[in-house]
Amino acid sequence: MKHYVKVIRSVIFAMLIVSAMAAVCVGYSAYGLGVKEGDWVEYDVVEAENYKFFVEVHSGDRIRFEVTEIKVQERMYPNGTVAFEVEAPVCEVFLNGECIQSNVTLGEMIFLPKGEEHWRSLDKIEDVWKIEAPKYGSKYESNMTFGRDTVLFSYAMEGAVNGGAKQIIHKDSGIALEFGRYSYVGEKISKYRLKITDTNVSGVLAPWYVTYWYLIVLLAVVAVLAFGVLLKCWQSKKKRGEGKR
């Protein structure tokens, strides 16, 4: 009887180990957004050529993205294996104040996971794509640069698909400060570039006094010069007055 109990315990223990190992094998990282439902961001369309974002977009337009929901998406290696999970925003999109589309699930475009860890994991996928791309009839190159507060990411591909993208991301919030994309077929090119102008998320945009520091310095210099001129005039008048006495 004791022998059977030992055997049963051994089997249960072995099953627990196998289950734990399986959990480790299929487990993968998950990265959260730095924004929440209700957050929004606005961009100026710095340049646009032959591009439609639900409707035709032109230079000088303003696009606004408002987060209405957050979903979870998987990021995969070229062979279909899941590398990690990310939170992805569902947005309403406004063009020049008018809602042009609702329930838009954005990929890694405007709102991305916060911090550096997501980018480190993405970089591993990028390395695999560079090797695997020729099998799909394409050449693929990408670059990732980490700054103190930002991440610069860009990619370009040629072959079966021609195009690329470039984005500058604010690390702490995961919000794109700039985003551009292009594609071409033959000599016809389609491209656009967005630059952030406003958001309700704190810490993303520099305070006004940092953005316009050069104007502050200029005004200070003008004020000092004006004060110097006034002081000189006052001293001259004072001397003339004393001379008349």
Is 59 within a domain? yes
Q: In the prediction, which pLDDT does 230 show?
A: 66
Q: In the prediction, which pLDDT does 106 show?
A: 82
**HEC secondary structure over 157-186:** EEECCCEEEEEEEECCCCEEEEEEEEEEEC
Q: How many CB atoms lie within 10 A of CB 85?
A: 16
In the chain, the number of structural domains is: 1
What does R_g of the chain's alpha carbons equal in angstroms? 29
Is 11 within a domain? no
Task: State the Cα angle at 144 between 82 and 114, rounded to 5°.
Answer: 65
Is 105 within a domain? yes
Is 7 within a domain? no
Cα–Cα dist 41/140, whole Å: 30
What are the mean pLDDT values of the chain's consecutive 10-residue runs (245 residues total)? 45 35 54 94 95 90 96 88 92 96 88 92 91 87 93 91 93 95 89 95 67 44 57 64 59
Q: In the prediction, which pLDDT does 52 show?
A: 86
Q: For residue 180, what are the domain limits? A: 27-199
Q: In the prediction, which pLDDT does 226 show?
A: 58
Is 80 within a domain? yes
Q: In the prediction, which pLDDT does 12 show?
A: 38
Cα–Cα dist 77/44, whole Å: 34
Is 191 within a domain? yes
Is 228 within a domain? no
